[in-house]
Structures are given as structure tokens and as C-alpha cells.
Chain A
Amino acid sequence: MYQKTLSLRIFGFIASFILTVAAFLIIIHPGLFHLENRAAIVIILSLALLQFIIQSIFFLDLGRETGPQWILAFFISTLFIILIIVFFSIWIMDHLNYNMMPMS
């Protein structure tokens, strides 16, 4: 059982390492991958999200509780709150700027 846990950790570490280096290469040379800067941002954000999920599962052991999954439920509801805070802040404030600063 423990040995299994250790191999999960090692897998999580290697996957996170690869994703970090991949994101770094895209940040430094977006032209190398024939990417516009906008597309590169979308891709590194997806890589970050993927790494977030991998670390949650393989380091934080999310979803491997015994019994009712209170921790997972709390985690997901928090992510929902965060989505609301971040997404709507950006949405509102960007349009506020757009409407209030006349650009020549």
C-alpha cells in the first residue's frame, strides 16, 4: 500500500516537472511552436490547470478519502467560489476600463 503511494508521488513529480519545463519553453520561445502570444497564454494556462489537477491528486491525495468525501466536496465548492471571484472581477473591471477610458 505504501509502495503504491510512493510510486504515485514519483509520477506526480515527474509529470509536474515536465509540465513546468514545457510551460517555460512556450513562455520563452512562443515562436518556436508557431504560436501567437494570445494562443501561448491559453496553452500555458491549460498546462497550469493540468498541473494543478495532477498535484491535487498525486500530492494532496484528493479523492482517496475513506468514507464520505468531505475534503473533496469542500475543495470543489471553494474552487467554485474562486471561479466566481476571479472570472467576474476580470469581466467587470475590464469592461469598466473599456467604457470609462476613451482611447484615441
Chain B
Amino acid sequence: MEENIKVEDDIKVFGFWIYLMTDLIIFAVLFACFIVLRNSTFGGPSGHELFRMSSVLIETLALLTSSFTCSLAMFEIQQKRKNMATFWFAVTFALGMVFLFIEFSEFSELMDKGANWQRSAFLSAFFTLVGTHGLHISVGLLWIIIAIFRVWLRPLSAFNVCNIFRLVLFWHFLDLVWIFIFTVVYGTGHLL
């Protein structure tokens, strides 16, 4: 019990935090690139014509809720309730899949309209930024599957709990980045 409470102080968590911050800098560079190129549509479609805000809202709320259920899973692990933790991780996984599905269908819809990443600098920056986030989500989903098996099959030792705690940090971090994609890419894109 004592070692579980102290998991946040682990040196591994600090190391993982350093990774998350460097990842945040990658996203910051992609954001800067996107904002600089926001008007460089080369005669192609702009964000206002392309983005369907209703599906973006569902996407955003799905990711936000998954971030919340993920923290509930961590709570259950600290309470040593394995079944509930597995359940909440499964919910997180399902919501992450909903997010990824909506994102991919949006991408394919853009492709159908001829708005691919070769069309304009704006669309290149858009696909790079949102695609990088989607890639992180895919990796996070794989990690959730591993975490579910870890909760299910392994004892809740300090080592395993620390690993799951880092997954939870990663997933919260992805939602943190998505707030700004929602606002900067879709929000200002729709308003301008």
C-alpha cells in the first residue's frame, strides 16, 4: 500500500514527464507551422469550407470523457479493484476508438473532396498536426490493450502500477494537446 501511494514520486515518472514535455515541444512546432500557413490555401479550400464542426464536437467530447474514465481506472487500481479498473480501461479504449474512427472518416471525406495534403501548404500543415496527434492516439490505444492485460493477469505490484500510471499521464497529455487542436485548428478555422 505504501509503495502505491508513493508511485507519483518515482524517478521513472519524472523521466516520462521529460518525454511528455519534449513531445509537447514537437506539437508546439507543428502548431506554429500550422498557424503560419493558415492562409496559404493556394486557391484550394479553406478550413471554413472543409470542417464539419458537429463531428469535431463529438470527437472532442469522446476524448475528454476517455481522459476522465482513464483517471477513474487509475483510481480503481489504487483501490486494488481489478475488475472495475479493467472495465474503465475498456471504456477508455472504446471512446479512443470512437475518436480515431471519426478522425479517419473525416480524413477520408477530405480526400474525397480532393483536399489531400498535396493540395496546399495549409492542408499539409493540417494533416501533419492532426495526423501526428492521431498517431499518438493509436499508440496510446495499443498501450491501453497492454495495460488491460497487465491489470488482468499480473499482480498490482509497484512496478505494474507505475507503468499504468505513466499510461494515464500519456492519455491525459493527449487530451491536453487536443484542446488546442480543437480551438486553434477547427475553431479559428471555422471562424475565419
Using CB atoms and an 8 Å cutoff, list the residues of chain A in contact with chain B: 2, 5-6, 9-10, 12-13, 16-17, 20-21, 23-24, 27-28, 30, 37, 40-41, 44-45, 47-48, 51-52, 55-56, 59-61, 65-67, 70-71, 74-75, 78, 81-82, 85-86, 89-90, 93-94
Contact = CB atoms under 8 A, between A and B. Distances in A.
A86 B31 contact: yes
A20 B29 contact: no
Interface residues of B, number: 45
Given A85-B28, A86-B32, A75 B64 contact: no
25 contacts: A2-B78, A9-B71, A9-B75, A10-B68, A13-B67, A16-B64, A20-B61, A23-B182, A37-B191, A41-B188, A41-B192, A44-B183, A44-B187, A45-B184, A48-B180, A48-B183, A52-B180, A55-B176, A59-B67, A59-B68, A59-B175, A61-B8, A65-B8, A70-B14, A86-B28
* Chain B interface, >50% SS class: helix
A39 to B, nearest CB: 10
